[in-house]
C-alpha cells in the first residue's frame, strides 16, 4: 500500500459522464482518495480537488509509484489495452462494464490477471447493489430457479463506440449469469424495433438465454420513454422482484403466490457505486489475487458476442 494505513490512493482514467460520477463517489467515501486523474478533458481541473494531480497521458499516470489501485472509466474499446497495461504495473484494477467488446481481448485480460495474481474487478453495477445482495441471499431459501425475466432501459444514450446490446445488455446478461452460477448454453437475440432519433439510431431487443431447463428472457433498449429496470427471478417457492426504479427497501420484493402484493426486505446501506468502490478498496487492503469478476466479465463478453451473431440487420 503506497498511502498511509488508513487511506488508499486511487487513480482514475477518464473524466467523461461516468468518470465524473466516480469522482463524486470517491470524494464522499472514507478510506479512499482520488490522488491522480488521467484525462484530456479541459474541464478536469474543476472536477477534482487541489490534491489530485492531472495527467494528459494515462500511461504516465500508471507509471507513478504512489497509487494503490486504478479505476478505468473510458469507452469500452479502450478497456483491454488500459487494463492489461495497468495489471503489468502490478496495480489492482476496477474497470467499467463491459470488460471488452472482443472475446479474445477479454480472454487476454483474464489470462494476464491469473498469471500475475492480480486484482481485476469489473463494475457490473447492479451486482454491487444492496438489493442484489439480498436477492442472492434470499434465493437460497426458495428452491430451484425456474425462470428469469427482465425489462431494462430508458431513452438513450446513443453511443457511437458501443452497440446498445453491449452497453445496456451487459447489465442483464451479467445478472442472469451471476444468479444461474454459470454461462448460458443457449443465446439468441432479435430486434423488436430500430429507429433513427435526433441523437442517433436507437433499438429495442429481445434476448433469450438458456441455462439448462431455466429460461432467461430479456427486453432491453434505449428507446423507452420511461426508465425500466425490473428483474424477476422465479423459484420453486416464490418470486424475487428487483425493481431499481423503486426507492429504499422497496427495490426487492418477495411474492409467494400470484395474489401476494410482495413483502420487502431490510437492505444494506450505500449506493451501488459506493459499494463497488468500497469492494475494490477491500480487495486492495486484503491483497489477495481476485480474478472472479474478470472471469464473469469474460462470460458476459462471450454471451454478448453469441447474441450479436444471431441478430439480423433489423427492421
The mean of the pLDDT values for the chain is 95
What percent of the chain stands above pLDDT 90?
Answer: 93
3 state SS of 284 = helix
**What's the pLDDT band for 3 if we cut at 50, 70, 90?**
very low
CA 128, CA 273: separation in Å to the nearest integer?
Answer: 7
CA 86, CA 60: separation in Å to the nearest integer?
Answer: 11
Instruction: Delineate the domains of the chain, giving CATH numbers in brackets.
Output: 8-125+273-303 (3.40.50.720), 126-270 (3.30.360.10)
Is 259's pLDDT higher than 50?
A: yes
- pLDDT tens for residues 189-236? 999 999 999 999 999 999 999 999 999 999 999 999 999 999 999 999
Picking from 86, 172, 68, the residue whose alpha carbon sits closest to that of residue 124 is: 172
User: According to the model, what pLDDT value does residue 314 have?
Assistant: 52
Is 149's pLDDT higher than 90?
A: yes
Q: Are 238 and 258 in contact (CB under 8 A)?
A: no
**What's the pLDDT band for 33 if we cut at 50, 70, 90?**
very high
Residue 171, CA atoms < 13 Å, CB-side half-sphere: 22
How many other CB atoms are found less than 10 A from the CB of residue 255? 16
User: According to the model, what pLDDT value does residue 113 have?
Assistant: 98
Amino acid at each position: 500500500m503506497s498511502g498511509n494505513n488508513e487511506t488508499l490512493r486511487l487513480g482514475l482514467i477518464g473524466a467523461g459522464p461516468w468518470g465524473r460520477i466516480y469522482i463524486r463517489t470517491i470524494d464522499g467515501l472514507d478510506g479512499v482518495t482520488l490522488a491522480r486523474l488521467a484525462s484530456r478533458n479541459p474541464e478536469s481541473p474543476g472536477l477534482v480537488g487541489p490534491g489530485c494531480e492531472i495527467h494528459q497521458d494515462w500511461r504516465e499516470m500508471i507509471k507513478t509509484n504512489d497509487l494503490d489501485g486504478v479505476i478505468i472509466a473510458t469507452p469500452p474499446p479502450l478497456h483491454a489495452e488500459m487494463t492489461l497495461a495497468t495489471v503489468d504495473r502490478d496495480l489492482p484494477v476496477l474497470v467499467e462494464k463491459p470488460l471488452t467488446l472482443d472475446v479474445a481481448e477479454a480472454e487476454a485480460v483474464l489470462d494476464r490477471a491469473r498469471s500475475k495474481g492480480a486484482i481485476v474487478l469489473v463494475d457490473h453495477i447492479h451486482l454491487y447493489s444492496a438489493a442484489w445482495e439480498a436477492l442472492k441471499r434470499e434465493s437460497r431459501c426458495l428452491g430451484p430457479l425456474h425462470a428469469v425475466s427482465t425489462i431494462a432501459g430508458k431513452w438513450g444514450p446513443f453511443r457511437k463506440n458501443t452497440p446498445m446490446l453491449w452497453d445496456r445488455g451487459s447489465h442483464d446478461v451479467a445478472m442472469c449469469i451471476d444468479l444461474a452460477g454459470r454461462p448460458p448454453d443457449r443465446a439468441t437475440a432479435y430486434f423488436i424495433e430500430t429507429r433513427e432519433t435526433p441523437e442517433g439510431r436507437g433499438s429495442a431487443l429481445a434476448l433469450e438465454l438458456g441455462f439448462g431447463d431455466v429460461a432467461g428472457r430479456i427486453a432491453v433498449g434505449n428507446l423507452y420513454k420511461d426508465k425500466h429496470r425490473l428483474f424477476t427471478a422465479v423459484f420453486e417457492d416464490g418470486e424475487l422482484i428487483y425493481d431499481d426504479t423503486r426507492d429504499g427497501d422497496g427495490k426487492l420484493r418477495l411474492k409467494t403466490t400470484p395474489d401476494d402484493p410482495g413483502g420487502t426486505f431490510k437492505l444494506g446501506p450505500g449506493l451501488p457505486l459506493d459499494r463497488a468502490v468500497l469492494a475494490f478498496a477491500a480487495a486492495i487492503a486484503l491483497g489477495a489475487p481476485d480474478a472472479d469478476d474478470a472471469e464473469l466479465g469474460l462470460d458476459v463478453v462471450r454471451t454478448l458476442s453469441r447474441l450479436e451473431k444471431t441478430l439480423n440487420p433489423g427492421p
